[in-house]
Amino acid sequence: MDKDFKPKIKKFRLYRKIFALVIAVALIASGVYGGRELSWKEIAPDEVAVIVNNLTGSIKQINRAGAVLYYPFIQDIYILDKREQILKMTAAEITEKQPQGNPLVIKTVDGGEVVLDIQIQYILNPEYATHIIQNTGVGDVYKQKWVNDYARTICYYCYGELHIDEFPSASKRDAKAQKARNEINEFLEPHGFLITTINLTDYRYYREYAEKIQERRLADKEVEEQKTRAKAAMENQRKVIVEETKKKEVKVARFKGDCDKRIMDARGTAEAKIQEAEAYLIKAKYEADAEYERLAQKAEGVLATVKAEAKGLAALRDAFEGNGSRNLVRLEYAKRLKNAIIRGIPIVRSGIETPQSIQRFKYIEDAPKIDYSRPEPPDVALDSIMQPGPQKSD
C-alpha cells in the first residue's frame, strides 16, 4: 500500500507546481500586455475622467485634458462627456422599442391631445462626475435615469396647462418652456445636471382639432381685424375731435379777440366821447360864463337906459304938470287940426230933429282930464283925447 500511495503524492505536487507556473506565466504575460496597451487614457478638453481603485475603493476625479496613467485590473477609469448634449423627444427618433418615434404626447386642460416634438439641451457639471458615477452608474445610464425621466414628466404637466387653442401662440409656449426649464433645473442641479434650453420644434393634434382650431384662429383673426378697425375708427374719431376742438378754440379765440377789440374800440370811443363831452362842458361853461357876462353887461346897459328913460319920463311928467302941460297938448292939438278936413251934412226933419253937424273933434275945454302921473307916451294920451264924445247941438 505504501508503494502505491507515495507515487500519487509526488504526481500531485508536480501538477500543482506546473499549474502555479502556468498561472504565473499567464499573469506575467497579461501584466506585460496590459502595461503596454491599457496603462494610459487620453482625456479630451470636453471630457472628465473618474478613476476607481478596485483594491482600496478610493475614487479620483481628473478634470483636465491630456493623458492619464492608471494600473489596469487594479484601477478602472470612466470618462464622462461634459459638452452640451441634446435629448430628443421627437417622432423622428425611431428605434426597435419605439417604432413610432419618441414624441411627447400630452393632454391639455380642456381634454385635447397634442403631440410635441421637443429637444432639450443640457450639460453635465464636471464637479459632480464622482457623484454621478457613485449614485447613477457608469456609461450613459444618467441620461435615462435623470435627464429623460425628469424632463419628460415636467414637460408633460407644464405644457398640459395650456388650452389646445393656445399652442399657436409662441409667447405662451415659450412661457411654459421657461417654467419647465426652471423646475427641471431645481430637481437636477443637485445631481450635477443643468438644462440650458427647451425647444418645442413642432406640435400636432388630430385633424378635427386642427379644423376647429383653424376656425377658431380665423374667427380670432376676424375679431382682431374688427378690433383694429375699431381702434382705427377710435383714433380717427379722436383725431377729428382734436381737429374740431382746435378749430373751435381758434374760432373762440378769434371771436374773443374780436370782442376784445370791439370792447377796446368802444372803450376808446367812450373815452373820446367822455373827453369830448368834458371839453364841450368846459367850452359850454366858458361860453355860458361869457354869455352871462355879456347878458349881465347888456342888462346893466338896458337897466341904465331904462333908468335914463324913466328919469326922462319923470322929467317929462314933471314938465307936463301944471299949465305947461295943457299948453303942450293944445299945441299938439293945433298941429293936428292944421291939416284936418272937416266935412258935415246937415239933416233936418221938422218936428223930429234939430240941425246937427257931425263933429269929429271936441273942444279942448270939454276934453277929459289926463292923468300924467302914469308914464304913458304922449301919443296915447292924445289918442284918448281925440276919441269922439257926446255931441252938443249949436
Q: Which of 156, 182, 205 represents a domain boundary (last residue)?
A: 205
- Cell numbers that stand for 59 in this block: 475614487
d(CA 392, CA 394): 7
Distance, CA of 29 to chain centre: 94
Amino acid symbol at 316 = L
Is there a single domain that holds both residue 174 and residue 89? yes
Contact predicate 144/89, CB 8 Å:
no
Whether 42 maps to a domain, the answer reads: yes
Is there a single domain that holds both residue 95 and residue 112? yes
Element (H, E) at 182: helix 170-188
- Cell numbers that stand for 329 in this block: 297938448
Is there a single domain that holds both residue 132 and residue 198? yes
| Angle (CA) 192 197 200, round 5° | 135
- Cell numbers that stand for 364 in this block: 279942448
Whether 289 maps to a domain, the answer reads: no
Distance, CA of 373 to chain centre: 108
d(CA 133, CA 79): 10
pLDDT of residue 384: 43
Question: Longest Cα pair distance anywhere in the chain, in angstroms?
Answer: 263
Is there a single domain that holds both residue 117 and residue 175? yes
pLDDT of residue 68: 80
Whether 43 maps to a domain, the answer reads: yes
Distance, CA of 183 to chain centre: 44
Is there a single domain that holds both residue 132 and residue 58? no
Is there a single domain that holds both residue 104 and residue 197? yes
Is there a single domain that holds both residue 95 and residue 201? yes
Contact predicate 133/78, CB 8 Å:
yes
- Cell numbers that stand for 289 in this block: 360864463
Contact predicate 161/176, CB 8 Å:
yes
Cell numbers 504565473 correspond to 24
Residue closest to 199 by CA, chosen among 168, 169, 177? 177
Whether 360 maps to a domain, the answer reads: yes
Q: Which of 205, 229, 252 represents a domain boundary (last residue)?
A: 205
Cell numbers 425621466 correspond to 149
Is there a single domain that holds both residue 351 and residue 375? yes
Q: What is the CATH number of the domain that holds 171?
A: 3.30.479.30
Domain count along the chain: 3
CB atoms within 10 A of CB 94: 12
Contact predicate 68/62, CB 8 Å:
yes
d(CA 201, CA 196): 16
Contact predicate 117/103, CB 8 Å:
yes
Q: Which of 136, 170, 205 represents a domain boundary (last residue)?
A: 205
Return the DSSP state at 127: G
d(CA 220, CA 213): 10
Is there a single domain that holds both residue 129 and residue 176? yes
CB atoms within 10 A of CB 148: 15
d(CA 180, CA 242): 49
d(CA 52, CA 138): 11
Whether 161 maps to a domain, the answer reads: yes
Is there a single domain that holds both residue 125 and residue 161? yes
DSSP reduced 3-state for 64: coil
Whether 33 maps to a domain, the answer reads: yes
Q: By residue range, what is the domain housing residue 91?
A: 84-205
pLDDT of residue 363: 41
> Could you tell me which residues are beta bridge partners of residue 117?
202
Contact predicate 141/188, CB 8 Å:
no
> Could you tell me which residues are beta bridge partners of residue 86?
121
Whether 187 maps to a domain, the answer reads: yes
Written as tens digits, the pLDDT of the chain (394 aa) is 444 444 545 555 676 777 777 777 666 655 555 444 457 777 888 888 888 887 787 888 888 877 787 777 777 888 888 888 888 888 888 888 878 888 888 888 887 788 899 999 998 888 888 888 887 777 777 887 888 888 999 999 899 888 887 888 889 999 999 999 999 999 888 888 899 999 988 888 766 666 777 777 788 888 888 888 898 889 898 888 988 888 888 888 888 888 888 888 888 888 888 888 888 888 888 888 888 888 888 888 888 888 888 887 777 677 666 666 677 777 777 777 777 776 666 555 555 554 444 444 444 444 455 454 444 444 444 444 444 444 444 3
pLDDT of residue 394: 37
Contacts 24+ apart (CB under 8 A), 27-31: 30/73
Element (H, E) at 295: helix 207-320
Whether 116 maps to a domain, the answer reads: yes
Is there a single domain that holds both residue 73 and residue 88? no
d(CA 216, CA 220): 6
d(CA 283, CA 287): 6
Is there a single domain that holds both residue 191 and residue 88? yes
